[in-house]
Amino acid sequence: MISALLLAVLGPAAPAPPPAPGVSLALARHRSATISEVRYGVEFIVPETTAPVTGTVTVGFRLFKAEAVVLDFRAPPANIGTVRDASGHPIMAMVTEDHITIPASSLRAGANRITFDFTATDAALNRRGDYLYALFVPDRASTAFPCFDQPDLKARYRLTLTIPAAWRAVANGGMESSDSLTSTKRIRFRETAPISTYLFSFAAGRLFTEEADRDGRHFTMYHRETDSAKVARNKDAIFDLHAAAIRWLEDYTGIKYPFEKFDFFAIPAFQFGGMEHPGAVWYSAGALFLDQTATRNQLLGRASVISHETAHMWFGDLVTMRWFNDVWMKEVFANFMAGKIVGPSFPDINHDLRFFLANHPTAYGADRTMGTNPIRQPLDNLREAGQLYGAIIYPEGTDRDAPARTHHRRRCDAAGAARIPRRPQVRKRHLARLDLDSRPALS
């Protein structure tokens, strides 16, 4: 009775305001506290032409209580098709800038499953003629499919690709099956271990492959290099460097390589040196396929980038920052570990001097400017995360010179950064405690 009177006097409650564009820290905190056990069953249909990539994604998750849930999708409203619940019934979702809100009436406390038909944008699907690769770092998975696009909501992915019949494909998970259709084929990949949205990826196209076994592990390298002599000249060293880095890191951390497989794609004119997707690492082809006249510095550079991306399998992929304000931490660890890994293979090089010359001028040059900033910066919205990369977090953060190391350690302490203990069994327990799967909500 009282509720009815209040409703008559005050009127119906105003609808909740739509979420702000991007992924705000407040939205990320709320989702981290109320959503768990996320799984994506996602299918992309990749045409041979430059026509848009379309697909379907089923998002499974557990909800702490029945309330509206916001997913991220940075695409025009017309790119969302039907939204359905677990029984196949249509859902009247609210589509706003960068988001899709599922009403509380379509959800329940406990397990939920929502399916979306969509058309992906090309913002993170890099199309180069007869091949394509996805690059979702730091916040661009939601430009391709509806998801919870924040690093601490790790999920398991089961990917299906429908691609032209003559193409090959690589993804985080191993291939489960491949079915030939009239002019296409449908490839299903096994479900991944829990990973963040920015680490999910795939590539497809007219690709060549090289395979090798090292230390009982099978490696596959995908590439587009047409100079067979260059490939033959470099491939053994490339596989050896990966195997050596994994061997060193398993010994140092006391943790076996934490993912199903280790494949990688040497991409022509890739926009970065590398990207650490577990099971499907991307590299710039020029960094791997060296000329016969390669200098000692180029050889060391190749070993360094391979060691850096391999170190990320532990420092960044297995153990992941909750929020991108701590992106510096994974990069510092990867750079530091890479230096320790490659050093013994190049005993004739003064590594301390090389490290000094490679890092000090850039780091302190940036630190002396009016635009300098702390290594760990505030980040209120994930759409600004790309601005955190640069000379401050790479050269300065990784500087191992004694005075700089002390200065950096103070910054780490101020940021609450963890130190990795020296003994393997202690390191293993320490890394396990940092694993995001068991970490609380953002703070």
What secondary structure does DSSP assign to 111-170, as a single string?
A: EEEEEEEEE--SSSEEE-SSEEEE--TTTTGGGTS-B--STTS-EEEEEEEEEETT-EEE
**Residue reference for tokens 């091949």:** 131
List, by residue number, the catalytic residues: 309
Q: Which is nearest to 420 in space by CA: 434, 400, 438?
A: 434
Backbone φ, ψ for residue 205 (5° rounding): 155, -170
Backbone φ, ψ for residue 299 (5° rounding): -65, -40
**In the structure encoding, which two tokens stand for residue 431, read together?**
């890394």
Backbone φ, ψ for residue 71 (5° rounding): -105, 160
Q: Which is nearest to 200 in space by CA: 154, 238, 152, 164?
A: 154
SS3 annotation, 309-327: HHHCCCECCCECCCCHHHH
Between strands 262-267 and 217-223, the pairing is parallel
Say if CB 130 and CB 205 are below 8 A apart: yes
Alpha-carbon distances, residue 270 vs 22, 171, 368 (angstroms) = 26, 17, 31
**In the structure encoding, which two tokens stand for residue 417, read together?**
């950064």
Mutual angle of helices 228-253 and 327-342, in 10-degree steps: 110
| DSSP bridge pairs for 381 | 24
